[in-house]
Amino acid sequence: MQTEARVGMVVEGQRALNTVHGSVAVPQSTPPPPQSLQQSQIGTLSQLLAGGVAGALSKTCTAPLARLTILFQVQGMHSDVATLSKPSIWREASRIVGEEGFRAFWKGNLVTIAHRLPYSSVNFYAYEHYKKLLQMVPGLKNHRESMSTNLCVHFVGGGMAGITAATATYPLDLVRTRLAAQTNMIYYRGIGHALRTITSEEGILGLYKGLGATLLGVGPNIALSFSVYESLRSYWQLHRPHDSPVLVSLACGSLSGIASSTATFPLDLVRRRKQLEGAGGRARVYKTGLLGTFKHIFRTEGLRGLYRGILPEYYKVVPGVGICFMTYETLKMLLADDDDNL
The CATH superfamily of 217-276+285-341 is Mitochondrial carrier domain (1.50.40.10)
Question: Is 3.40.50.2000 the CATH classification of the domain at 89-209?
Answer: no
Geometric angle at alpha carbon 27, from 22 and 33, rounded to 5°: 55
For the chain, percent of residues with pLDDT exceeding 70: 80
Q: With H, G, I as helix, E, B as strand and everything else as coil, classify residue 22.
A: helix
CA–chain centroid gap for 56, Å, is: 12
* pLDDT at residue 248, rounded to an integer: 86
* pLDDT at residue 140, rounded to an integer: 61
The confidence band for 339, taking pLDDT boundaries of 50, 70 and 90, is: low
Residue 124 has pLDDT above 90, yes or no: no
Write the burial class of residue 145 (CB in 10 Å: 0-12 exposed, 13-18 middle, 19+ buried).
exposed
Residue 54 has pLDDT above 60, yes or no: yes
The confidence band for 8, taking pLDDT boundaries of 50, 70 and 90, is: low
CA distances for 221 relative to 127, 205, 216, 272, angstroms: 16, 25, 9, 16
Q: Evaluate whether 328 touches 253 at the Cβ level (below 8 Å).
A: no
CA distances for 121 relative to 8, 192, 215, angstroms: 12, 22, 18
* pLDDT at residue 229, rounded to an integer: 83
Q: Evaluate whether 76 touches 301 at the Cβ level (below 8 Å).
A: yes
How do the domains of the chain map onto residue ranges? 89-209, 217-276+285-341
* pLDDT at residue 146, rounded to an integer: 64
Write the burial class of residue 227 (CB in 10 Å: 0-12 exposed, 13-18 middle, 19+ buried).
middle
Condensed to tens digits (0 to 9), the pLDDT of residues 229-285 reads: 878 888 998 999 888 888 888 888 889 889 988 999 999 999 999 999 888 777 778
Say whether 217-276+285-341 and 89-209 share the same fold: yes
* pLDDT at residue 82, rounded to an integer: 54
The confidence band for 25, taking pLDDT boundaries of 50, 70 and 90, is: very low
Q: Evaluate whether 79 touches 337 at the Cβ level (below 8 Å).
A: no
Question: How far separated are the first and last CA of the chain, in Å rounded?
Answer: 37
* pLDDT at residue 67, rounded to an integer: 95
* pLDDT at residue 17, rounded to an integer: 45
Supply φ then ψ for residue 238, to 5 degrees. Answer: -70, -40
The confidence band for 129, taking pLDDT boundaries of 50, 70 and 90, is: confident
CA–chain centroid gap for 339, Å, is: 29
CA–chain centroid gap for 177, Å, is: 14
